[in-house]
Each structure stands twice: as C-alpha cells, then as structure tokens.
Amino acid sequence: MEAKGIKHDDKHNRVRLSKGFTLKESWSDFILAEYETRPAVEVETIQQVRAVWNDDEWELHLVCKKEIPVKNAPGDKTAGIDLGISNYLAIDYEDGPSELYPGNVLKQDKHYFTRKEYQTEGENGPSKRGLKTRQKLSRRKDHFLHTLSKHIVQRCVDEGVEKIAVSDLSDIRGDENGDSRNWG
C-alpha cells in the first residue's frame, strides 16, 4: 500500500504527488513527475518521495518498503525497532531484553558543525572551510549510523532474531476515529 498523496504508475514510470489540502486550488491539482531508475531496480510500495537538489539539478528520491528474505536466520524471534523516540532509538527483543541507544550525539554534531559553517559564510554563500565543515558532518553522521546499524544486526544475531520490524509509530496517539487518545 502506498502512502497517502502518492499515486504510482509503474507502466509509465510516473509518480503523481498531491500538493496537500492547503496548497490545492482544485481537487485535480497535483505534481506529475516522471522518473528513471538504474536497470534491475524495481519501484514498488512507495512510502515517501523526496526532492533533493544535487548541485545542478533536482532529483527524486523514492523511499520504498522492501522485505529482504534471510536464508540462514540465526533464530525465529522478532525484534522491534522504534525510531520515533526523541533523540533515542529503542529496540525490543522478543522474549529478551530491551535496549535504548542515544542518538543525541547526531543532534549535538549538527548543532556544532552548522554553527561552524555559518561562522565562515560570506556574501557568496559558504566558504571552502564551510563546505569542508559540511562534508565532515556528513562523514561523522554516516560513520555513526553505519556503526550503530552494524552493532544492532550483531545484537540481533546474538539474540536469535529472524525478523527486524522497523516501526513508524506516528499514528499511535489517535484512536480509530482520529481523536487524540487519552494515555493518562
């Protein structure tokens, strides 16, 4: 199932994106974008579409849901990962411990390096020093996320986990009518 506001035409490699209720002038107001992928890449179950500026042109980044089968799973348990906790990542293993990983390091790095970048900005945009600062932040973020994901996979192997469920719990606050649920 695709996300609301996204219609995918896989026969013609097009994505129709809704402008959202507040930006529409009429019910048929939308953005139609054609895309091209590398050979052997299948686009299905689109969850998110991002427009990204790549120095000289815009790119569409399509985020798709894909289940990856594991041939030799270490066990038959399931682990749930919640990405929605503010500045933290939580993992709950079936019949096992729960773990909490701090993600505030990324927030601290972003704050520090963004300040460094803006301190070197001139009239014509970021200086060479500012661009190097941006690249260093990107490398640190990539390293942190790679190391964390590698550690999580190893912990899942140690716990005998076959499936990892990464959840989006953004809708848990509302009940079936869309009203705010009382968690008190």
**pLDDT (tens digit, 9 = 90+) per residue, 18-68?**
776 666 677 667 788 888 888 888 888 888 888 788 778 888 888 887 777
Q: What is the pLDDT of residue 72?
A: 76
Stretch 162-170: mean pLDDT, rounded? 67
Q: What is the pLDDT of residue 122?
A: 67
The predicted model scores a pTM of 0.51
Q: Which amino acid, 116?
A: K
Backbone angles phi, psi at 149, to 5 degrees: -65, -35
Task: Please provide the DSSP assignment of 125-170 as one string.
Answer: B--HHHHHHHHHHHHHHHHHHHHHHHHHHHHHHHTTEEEEEEE--T
CA angle at residue 47 from 67 to 90, to 5 degrees?
A: 65
